[in-house]
A and B are shown apart, each in its own frame.
Chain A
Amino acid sequence: MAKSALLKSSLAKKYWMALTGLFLCLFLVGHLIGNLQLLSSSENAALHFNQYALFMTTNPAIKLLSYLTYISILFHAIDGIVLTVRNKKARPVNYVMNNPSKNTIWASRNMAVLGTVILIFIVTHMVTFWGKMHFDKAMPLQTMTISAGGMPQEFYLTTDGGYVPKGQVDQGAMVIKNRTEFFDAGANVKVKEGYKDLYKITVAFFKDAKFGLIYTILYAISMIVLGFHLYHGFGSAFQSLGANNPKYNGLIKNFGKGFAIIVPLLFAIIPIYIHFFIK
């Protein structure tokens, strides 16, 4: 009985909700640290970001973490919707007159709506960036223009810290295979590997002449929604797992509230900075 209790019962669903939710909070921190590199004004900002993106898509440990993240999001969303449907069923007839703002905060009553908006955001976000990074055949490779003797020349940056002149590719001496690999056309051997230019894609997305502003606003709104979700969710997860001790409750609650404000705020600053301040 104990086994099934840990899978099927109301409390088991709560544990999974809390564990996946807290894991996603950790994921947010990791993701945020990566994204903050976009704020760098160093002339190598693009290269550093693209190197980071390459690391994130190829490192085996990160791969494992990313699968855990996908599973967590899926599980958290499905479990959350199942719980919400059940909870609605537990009150088949509603009150004619109800006054819930007297005893609860708004965020706590709207976790499912907030979560659904976050889910929509995650899906569109993944299509625009993650999808391009992984599947888009037209994903650009990072280039750099160097002026040699007054003649500007374009080069592809390569993972070994070197360059491939763009001219060589244009003239057919080099061929790009598997989206990132430079092959010597004659000998058909791999010579170097380029960087997918996620930096360029990101900047272009938020600076898009027609939709850039709308994308920036939608992104910021999604972060506000995430903030409300976390404002209740962070502390709630501890309670779900049974971690309630008057000695530490204040600390957990306040840390959660700070987390819910600071993390989404830092995320939102990035597209705003790109849209308004990057040349």
Chain B
Amino acid sequence: MASNKNININLKIWRQKDAKSKGKIETYKLDNVSTDSSFLEMLDQLNEQLINSRQEPVAFDHDCREGICGMCSLYINGRAHGPDTKITTCQLHMRMFKDNDTIYVEPWRSKAFPVIKDLVVDRSAFERIQQAGGFVSVNTSGRTIDANATPVPKHDADRAFEAAACIGCGACVASCKNGSAMLFVGAKVSQYALLPQGKVEAADRVLNMVRQMDEEGFGNCTNTGACEVECPKGISLENIARMNREYLFASVK
């Protein structure tokens, strides 16, 4: 399916020396970008050009480059992971752009995700939310029972699986006008709460994870639904409602 077309683009990229410096948008011209290349390959090409002209390359996060690690957090032309839906930045292709397009590339903007350098943000707030309750305390010392020995209704299993598809990329926070992490936390709460193994600690889990979420400085959901549209894994708003329910019942218990 190679279209083998090359385009020239103008890039407006957020450059910031370190966490303490003030950053600003810099403009770069990049010629001969194959429309078959991915967005990250395009950035690699830009960095080569920068290195060859003895300039500092643009720092950006990436790891798997196949949509499973959630590292490639870029806000492209005003949208998390750029135009196109249900994809991460590494899955975004340059064929989504036209010759002479101007493309803005910015880091996630959230108080809880401080910029470390250029386009790289610190997303360890998500790790701390997970550590506050995103687990099941089972003994894994060799005396575990077979998972299939516990019957789970198909419907619940499917919902739990869909929730567990969250890769913690943070696009929900980035695209929410309130910088809310509720889609992420809703998914993490749901993936356990729906299963018998997770139900045991469900009340403590939701209370602790929401408390940690608030402490990290994330905003409050106002149900605009931006997160659901931009989430690369199609995590549904149903998960936020489930978290709201779980929390309500847990806090009156």
Contact = CB atoms under 8 A, between A and B. Distances in A.
Interface of A: 1-3, 5-6, 9-15, 83, 86-87, 89-100, 102-105, 108-109, 111, 232, 235-236, 239-244, 246
B237 A244 contact: yes
Given A9-B214, A241-B248, A244-B241, A1 B207 contact: yes
Given A2-B253, A95-B78, A103-B225, 7 more contacts: A90-B180, A90-B217, A91-B110, A96-B106, A100-B226, A108-B222, A111-B222
Interface string B198-239: 000000000100110110011111111110011000000110
B211 A97 contact: no
B77 interface: yes
Contact of A239 (B106, B175, B230, B241): B241
Interface of B: 12, 14, 25, 75, 77-79, 104, 106, 109-112, 175, 177-180, 207, 210-211, 213-214, 217-226, 229-230, 237-238, 240-248, 250-253
A244 B220 contact: no
Contacts of B238: 244, 246
Chain A at the B interface: SS class: helix
A6 B250 CA distance: 10
A239 B217 contact: no
B92 to A, nearest CB: 14
B177 A240 contact: no
Nearest to B216: A90
Contacts of B237: 239, 244
A236 B252 CA distance: 22
Contacts of B77: 97, 99
18 contacts: A9-B251, A10-B220, A12-B251, A14-B244, A15-B244, A83-B220, A86-B219, A87-B178, A91-B109, A91-B219, A94-B109, A96-B14, A97-B104, A98-B78, A103-B224, A109-B224, A232-B223, A242-B246
Contacts of B217: 89-90
A104 B244 contact: no
Given A10-B214, A83-B222, A2 B252 contact: yes
Contact of B244 (A6, A108, A240): A240
B178 to A, nearest CB: 4
A102 B242 contact: no
Contact of B78 (A99, A108, A246): A99
A91 B108 CA distance: 10
A116 to B, nearest CB: 15
Given A97-B12, A97-B77, A14 B241 contact: no
A128 to B, nearest CB: 31
Contact of B25 (A96, A103, A244): A96
A89 B180 CA distance: 11
B225 A108 contact: yes
Contacts of A240: 221, 223, 244
Contacts of B224: 103-105, 108-109, 232
Nearest to B239: A244
A111 B14 CA distance: 30
A7 to B, nearest CB: 9
A87 B177 contact: yes
A104 B177 CA distance: 10
> Which of A11, A12, A89, A97: most chain B Cβ within 10 A?
A11
Contact of A102 (B79, B104, B180): B79
Contacts of B246: 242
B109 A239 contact: no
Nearest to A107: B224
A103 B251 contact: no
Closest 4 CB pairs of A and B: A99-B78, A242-B245, A244-B241, A90-B219
A90 B179 contact: yes
Contacts of B248: 11, 15, 241-242
Contacts of B14: 96
Nearest to A8: B214
B58 to A, nearest CB: 15
Contacts of B178: 87, 90-91
Contacts of A9: 210-211, 214, 247, 251
A109 B109 contact: no
A242 B242 contact: yes
B191 to A, nearest CB: 16
Contact of A90 (B79, B106, B112, B247): B112
A87 B79 contact: no
A236 B111 contact: no
Contacts of A108: 222-225
A248 to B, nearest CB: 11
A111 B110 CA distance: 21
A46 B23 CA distance: 67
